Structure 1
Amino acid sequence: MGTNLYIAEGETEKNFITQLKQKQIVLPGQFKKYNLMRKKLKETDDILTKKRDKIFGIVDTDCDNINCACFKNFEYNIKKLKKIGKIFILVQDKEFEDELKRIFNDSKLSQIFNAKYSNKSDIKKHLCKPDIYENLLLRNQLTSDMLNKYCSHSCHFINTLKTNNITSLSKHVKDFKIIATRK
């Protein structure tokens, strides 16, 4: 078997997971940027080239226009990924920034990061900085209890899977605790 694999669509998730791996808060593993809802995996994609122990797919639910095609892609991708490892899906309620706000009890991100933002694009750029989460972890502003809130509101997504007649995928939807190395 190979190593663990993290799959998510954005740079912010990549930086977040990378910092958590470096601090040994989550299981070690490789990270691949890929949108499991919007794109269909191909046999030639490097994601599918080797066996994995565990695959953690992090999906956004920020699009109001998630449609039947997205769920078909998602279902197809999960079937492909199941061939190379055990699948765990972590569902972000809306997008990463919304998850951070919930982790920090709905505080304004400008307060959390002590920065000013003029628009959503500025926030995204700031959250892509590689050391941003390391600083929060070092200052103990991001605790284990807070991290356990990450990807912990998946019931709406599971209901949407049921509505789209793909309830078999709901067994793969898990909370953040599944990737945590310490309690």
Structure 2
Amino acid sequence: MQEDRKNIYLLDANIIITAHNLYYPVSKVPEFWDWLEFHAKNGSIAIPREIHEEIKGGNDAEHVRWAKDGARKKLLILDEEFNQDLLERVINEGYAPDLNEVELDRIAMDPVLVAYALADPKNRIVVTNEVSKPSRKRQNRHVPDVCSAVGARCCNVYQMLRDLDFRTNWKSNV
């Protein structure tokens, strides 16, 4: 009998960037960042390597230093081989089968994130700050709509926070 595995939330780079810039700055709400690290350690949160490389910021970007810290980076990175066939499926079914080079540059790493979710669609959930805009076509499609088109699960950061029970006093319950 196969046991059910727990969900793994695959974070888009915009989750880290926006959290720091808008609502949970690293130095102001360290509980959030500790919580992310805790869930990375227990396998509930991961960031594909290609997506991790998209985490950028200014000269004094605390969130970049946090995410790129050697030991923490190792915890955060989803350590597995990438499936090129899944990427092609995401591009063809989620965007368009005939994207040109300019369009492919525009979609950047989003299809990679979705492809990692498709590697285990029952247990992986893409977490993004992008919102559904079904009227968008081709390279302008948003991650939630691409996920929907290919059968990958997707949620926003607030759903992940609810699902994993984030509170600023979360350590008292661990």
Same fold by TM (over 0.5)? no
Question: TM-score, length-normalised on structure 2?
Answer: 0.33
Question: TM-score, length-normalised on structure 1?
Answer: 0.32
